[in-house]
Structure 1
């Protein structure tokens, strides 16, 4: 069965690529030279911590997916092959979408706008990094993030939009949350960047 062999080879290559990224043999940030990152204050960290060139980070504190159309002209100027969407923390707390189903409906619309403006680029959706104590003092809605992630993942896998699930990375590095329980420390971005590039590489 050639399909089984192909899958085995794919898994071997994936493991080798992951090991090379984790060891530093491959410079993960050099792999972002044809990508852009969109998102909120968590995504801003890619720029603030000098991970990705600021011309490739379109992010603002407090941003939700409704900010995406404002970034389109700037993204077109960069003309990337990959667009990474890192939203969610504000989307839940602001309450514009009472349910995940309503959120997904608008998320699809925003992705469609990107695809129409940049038909040659692949749009990726990153899972929402969960909040942790003491963040829930600001918003109890953040307790719903794991459930929303499950629904988002199921939906985008069904529609063919690549979904970057970093749940495992967050679980493994809970010590890298900032004191607010919302943002992540600089050290976490290496693990996040690796997860993004692993997914992007598989879709090339």
Structure 2
């Protein structure tokens, strides 16, 4: 009787070893693939015990297989047959990359200029009489969409309202000097990028010109810890990166108003920050060299 019991126990142990080894072998590439399997040092049945310690059990093998089959079925159901390729929604073609060209004053007929006191100066002294200007002294990127500073039909409205009620072919945007020393460049650029995106939403067909912040004179830059050209250049580099030369273009008036050191020419400014009224014609003439023609328009 004892011999029979011992034989039965031995058979059970061997059977268990075989079954666990089968499980370990079957799951070597699935549920047990994260375990190192060496038939000599770590037999397959031992891997099953290791998995059980991490709450991975043999029956997980069937659960995972079923899930994989369901996933494969879903992928097949959602896949598009080559024969139905023509039914796919085609993405709209990107506008071509375009180059700047010389234009005349009629180019500004459908343009809007948005900005701070520098843009106010361009409005008052730049002889661009056929464009729309939404600009005010002291304007900054943080208050741009809150203040009612745009005049439409004799009433002061917000910029969003103004851009929602009129259609423009070009948007010229220069802002940033009043934000110097306030917040961080990252914070400034986050608001700047959101503004450009909002321009695109409100005026989907417009060419957007993001303009570099006009620098200050060398005297101002070298003595002012806030309003200096190092900080302006850092911001301008980030603004320039927004241009795709398809619908958004970077232009920088500093190219024509700065000296060999990259500072605003002292003889062009009365306060080291703004141009003399008689000098805004330089900015006007610069803009005429930066026209972008739209197909079917501006011809």
TM-score, length-scaled by structure 2: 0.52
Q: Deviations over 1:69-90 (max 9, x none)?
A: 2312223434210010011110
**Contact 2:206–2:247, Cα closer than 8 Å, also in 1:** no
**Contact 1:176–1:188, Cα closer than 8 Å, also in 2:** no
Which residue of structure 1 lines up, in the alignment, with residue 171 of structure 2? 83
In structure 1, C-alpha distance between the alignment counterparts of 2:227 and 2:272, rounded to whole Å: 11
Q: Deviations over 1:154-184 (max 9, x none)?
A: 3435996211122211225714532210101
Gaps of 5+ in 1: 1-9
Which residue of structure 2 lines up, in the alignment, with residue 41 of structure 1? 117
Taking structure 1 as reference, are residues 177 and 193 closer, same or farther at Cα in structure 2, changes over 3 Å only? Answer: same
2:204 is aligned with 1:141: no
Residue 58 (structure 1) aligned to one of 113, 130, 134: 134
**Contact 2:109–2:131, Cα closer than 8 Å, also in 1:** no
Per the alignment, in what secondary structure is the counterpart of residue 165 of structure 2?
helix
Which residue of structure 1 lines up, in the alignment, with residue 271 of structure 2? 180
Q: 1:142: Cα distance to partner?
A: 2.0
Q: Aligned residue pairs: how many?
A: 181
Per the alignment, in what secondary structure is the counterpart of residue 156 of structure 1?
coil
Which residue of structure 1 lines up, in the alignment, with residue 184 of structure 2? 98
Per the alignment, in what secondary structure is the counterpart of residue 112 of structure 1?
helix
In structure 2, C-alpha distance between the alignment counterparts of 1:116 and 1:92, rounded to whole Å: 27
TM-score, length-scaled by structure 1: 0.73
Q: Deviations over 1:133-165 (max 9, x none)?
A: 554599522221122212321343599621112
In structure 2, C-alpha distance between the alignment counterparts of 1:192 and 1:116, rounded to whole Å: 28
In structure 2, C-alpha distance between the alignment counterparts of 1:165 and 1:55, rounded to whole Å: 19
Structure 1 segments, 4+ long, off by >6 Å, are: none
Which residue of structure 2 lines up, in the alignment, with residue 114 of structure 1? 199
In structure 2, C-alpha distance between the alignment counterparts of 1:50 and 1:199, rounded to whole Å: 16
Which residue of structure 1 lines up, in the alignment, with residue 11 of structure 2? none
In structure 2, C-alpha distance between the alignment counterparts of 1:86 and 1:177, rounded to whole Å: 19
Gaps of 5+ in 2: 1-97, 146-157
More helix by share: 1
**Contact 2:270–2:276, Cα closer than 8 Å, also in 1:** no
Per the alignment, in what secondary structure is the counterpart of residue 201 of structure 1?
coil
2:240 is aligned with 1:153: yes
